[in-house]
Amino acid sequence: MESLPPMLHWLTHQLERHRFGVPVILPTREQQPPFAYSVGLSLHGLPELIVVGLAEPGGALIQRLGRAALDGAVDLRAGAVLAAAAGFGSPCRLDPVRAEWVDRYPLMLQSLAVDHVEVLQVVVPDLGGRWPEDPLSDPGMALLQGLLARPQPFRLPVRRAAEADRYHRRTAAGPSVLIPVIEGADRWNGQHELVHARHAADGGLELTQPPCLADWVPAGARVALGPPPEGVDVSSAGCAGAVAQVVDDAGMHSLAFQHRVSRHRDRSRVEAAFDQLAARPPPGRAVLSTTTSSWHVCTTDPHAVRARLRPLIRDGLLVEQPLLSSVEDLIGPCNHPRCHEHRR
């Protein structure tokens, strides 16, 4: 057992001791949905379970439901609505999961020697008892709790309030476009992000705001649009359509950074560095946006941007995040000499 990879070592221990395990997958970016799922219930003739949009609460819910099902107290079947969710304090609904979502979520089910694994999604309502598909349901629950029984799981797109982005407060009145969130090589995670754009002189559209999740389309890119996907609510978003193709990326590359500060003085230092980068960008072009804890930069010279931010990275106040859509194959490795220049 000692030679097994850590996750398989953990799974083997869970199966031997508890009959199933529950991995909890936390997001690497804000507004990415966390999820938890079971591994091992199918070895006992039961469906596996997944909860999307909830991390630790979702894991606890699956543990209770799994134990109750193994004891024969709960019948896990598609379409069932369970009152109080086996003592969890909230009702829940068991929805079937489409095959493409079983394949696209990084489930460890392939580790099990089972020919066919049925997966059910555990869906919970908001505090008012409304399910995520209800237009009146709590937006926070609907934003993260995608419904995997549908080809378009997330009813609401990821969007940032104008006041939350210190560099784009004045562009909120312009058109917006929907961009599918791609994780890994051509792997859509079911989300769309709503990003600000502007009309170019030739009638095309150009992104003016770096996406926080859909980083395969940089700010400055010229895009061709198609209609918004069916099932995504953009009725109040001023949406011009969904990105169907990047016509010209304008030589721009995406970078993402997360701050790790606890003191106001350190936060001010990070903000000042990005404000200076926005006011005096390196040769070429740089467009910035922010979320609560991260900073997104689209630039024609990523190495110069890293060099400018190097003191913050060196002091542990800032960490560069990997892109969701690729492994830096377009912008070069971080050991590029210009990325390691110490500038103050």
Q: How confident is the model at residue 329 (pLDDT cuts 50, 70, 90)?
A: very low
The pLDDT of 16-42, averaged and rounded, is 83
Give the per-residue pLDDT at 291. 82
Strands 205-207 and 188-199: antiparallel
80 and 136 in a single domain? The answer is yes
Which of 231, 248, 265 is the last residue before a domain boundary? 248
On average, the pLDDT of the chain sits at 82
Residue whose structure tokens are 């900073």: 295
Q: How far apart are CA 78 and CA 85, in angstroms?
A: 15
Give the per-residue pLDDT at 7. 67
215 and 234 in a single domain? The answer is yes
Q: What is the 3-state secondary structure (H, E, C) of 127-175?
A: CCCCCCCCCCCCHHHHHHCCCCCCCCCCCCCECCCHHHCCCCHHHCCCC
Q: How far apart are CA 255 and CA 302, in angstroms?
A: 7
Number of structural domains in the chain: 3
Determine contact, residues 241/226, Cβ cutoff 8 Å: yes
State what percent of residues in the chain have pLDDT above 90.
38
> The pTM is what?
0.82
Q: Distance of alpha carbon 8 from its chain centroid, rounded?
A: 25
> 3-state DSSP: the chain helix, strand, coil percent, rounded to 5?
25, 25, 50
Classified as helix, coil or strand, 124 is coil
pLDDT top residue among 336 and 32 = 32
Q: How far apart are CA 320 and CA 328, in angstroms?
A: 12
CATH number at residue 262: 3.30.70
Burial class of 227 by CB neighbour count within 10 A (0 to 12, 13 to 18, 19+): exposed
Q: How far apart are CA 246 and CA 111, in angstroms?
A: 38
- Residue 152 domain-assigned? no
243 and 267 in a single domain? The answer is no
Q: Over 90: is that where the pLDDT of 93 sits?
A: yes
Q: Over 70: is that where the pLDDT of 71 sits?
A: yes
14 and 96 in a single domain? The answer is yes
Tokens for 328, please give them: 């830096």
**Closest by Cα among 245, 228, 225, 226 to 237:** 228
Q: Over 60: is that where the pLDDT of 154 sits?
A: yes
Q: How confident is the model at residue 111 (pLDDT cuts 50, 70, 90)?
A: low
210 and 269 in a single domain? The answer is no
Q: Over 50: is that where the pLDDT of 141 sits?
A: yes
Q: How far apart are CA 84 and CA 92, in angstroms?
A: 7
Q: How far apart are CA 201 and CA 192, in angstroms?
A: 27
Residue whose structure tokens are 């990105």: 243
**Closest by Cα among 24, 73, 91, 82 to 53:** 24
Which of 203, 228, 248 is the last residue before a domain boundary? 248
Q: Over 80: is that where the pLDDT of 327 sits?
A: no
Instruction: List phi, psi (to 5°) of 275.
Output: -60, -40
- Residue 87 domain-assigned? yes
244 and 279 in a single domain? The answer is no
266 and 201 in a single domain? The answer is no
243 and 257 in a single domain? The answer is no
**Closest by Cα among 256, 99, 243 to 157:** 243
Residue whose structure tokens are 């910035």: 288
- Residue 149 domain-assigned? no
- Residue 160 domain-assigned? no
244 and 257 in a single domain? The answer is no
Give the per-residue pLDDT at 236. 64
- Residue 156 domain-assigned? no
Poorest-pLDDT segment among 2-11, 66-75, 146-155, 260-269: 2-11
- Residue 154 domain-assigned? no
116 and 182 in a single domain? The answer is no
Strands 35-37 and 48-52: antiparallel
227 and 259 in a single domain? The answer is no
Q: How confident is the model at residue 42 (pLDDT cuts 50, 70, 90)?
A: confident
231 and 175 in a single domain? The answer is yes
Tell me which residue range forms the domain holding 293: 253-340
Give the per-residue pLDDT at 328. 42
- Residue 69 domain-assigned? yes
The pLDDT of 111-116, averaged and rounded, is 63
- Residue 283 domain-assigned? yes
Which of 202, 218, 248 is the last residue before a domain boundary? 248
